[in-house]
Chain A
Amino acid sequence: MTHDREPYREVAVYCSGDYAIDREAMGGKFAEHFGDTTLDGSPVQFGTRDPSLVIARAGMTPSTFTLRALTVQQLRACKGPAAFADRCLRALMYSLVSAELRQPLAHEATTWVAARSKGQEFLDLEQIDSLCERVGEEACVEIGSVALQRTTLRPFSVPHFMLPADSALALMRLSHTHAATLARAKSDTPSTDEP
């Protein structure tokens, strides 16, 4: 079973594109934590979101985003927009509770707390704009996609809200995969230099 056995409670989420996370040191644990979103045609798997798997680079602290579970009504509202990114951003607006922003994902280290108007369940547009300015829209979409993932039962169903194939983050991951494949192929090739 996954670490996230209580998807109806709050969870702290990391962003896979955060440079403070040492992807090389994590190795296979990276995919285990964030899910297999390499877009290479292999079966897509959910990430465990287990914080103990995350390895930070020396002297750096990754940013964390605290999400609450979406209710039925909120999820219904999230399914409205046709575009994937808009659905994720709407899910983020409903679910984000706070964020511990650290460099280099954000340009300055701050504790960002969601301030919702009384009786309002989603963030104000100014707030989501300010967050997007600090960490970038790609990160916001990814964090929002986690909020959507957590509304789905597993392992009995496998719908997975993947980043669009043309997103910068997805392309970066793809290039990482290709680089890893090339490096492996190179190391597997017997050397011909020796007599």
Chain B
Amino acid sequence: MGAHIIRQVLPQMVRDGLDEPPYCPWRSYWEPLVVEALTLRARRDHVDLDAQPAIVVEALAVLEGTQHRLEAADRKQAAEARETVRKLEDQRRNGR
């Protein structure tokens, strides 16, 4: 698992334009600020964001921005995979 993170997850984060954490990415979930941002996200509809600590709101914005970028990267990767499969199928059909 550790080797997988070092060889694949961290380089992928850099390729996706994210900041490379100085430690295991999963450990971030134990960071008090990240916990606070996730808690705020869960109860966002019931609180006034203007009255929340600015640092937590900024952390929440970064968290959501990162999540959106990762989802976009996943969608792009899935689309490329579908395109590759489609091309292979076309080649197979034409080859017959």
- Residues on A lying within 8 angstroms of B by beta carbon are 1, 5-8, 69-75, 150-153, 155-156
Contact = CB atoms under 8 A, between A and B. Distances in A.
B51 A8 contact: no
3 tightest Cβ-Cβ pairs between the two chains A and B: A8-B53, A69-B53, A75-B54
A73 B54 CA distance: 8
B55 interface: yes
B55 A8 contact: yes
Contacts, number: 49
Contacts of A71: 50-54
Contacts of B19: 156
Given A153-B62, A156-B19, A156-B62, A69 B31 contact: no
A72 B32 contact: no
Contacts of B74: none
A7 B33 contact: yes
B33 A72 contact: no
Overall SS of chain A's interface: loop
B57 interface: yes
Overall SS of chain B's interface: helix
Nearest to A69: B53
Nearest to B56: A8
B89 interface: no
Nearest to A73: B50
B83 interface: no
Contact of A72 (B36, B50, B59): B50
29 contacts: A1-B31, A5-B31, A6-B32, A7-B53, A8-B55, A8-B56, A69-B53, A70-B54, A71-B51, A71-B52, A71-B53, A71-B54, A72-B51, A72-B54, A72-B57, A73-B51, A74-B54, A75-B54, A151-B54, A152-B55, A152-B58, A153-B33, A153-B55, A153-B58, A153-B59, A153-B62, A155-B22, A156-B19, A156-B62
Interface string B2-32: 0000000000000000010010000000011
A50 B93 CA distance: 68
Nearest to A151: B54
A69 B57 CA distance: 12
Contacts of A69: 53-55
A72 B58 CA distance: 9
B49 interface: yes
Nearest to B31: A5
A1 B59 CA distance: 16
A128 B56 CA distance: 27
B85 to A, nearest CB: 37
Contacts of B31: 1, 5
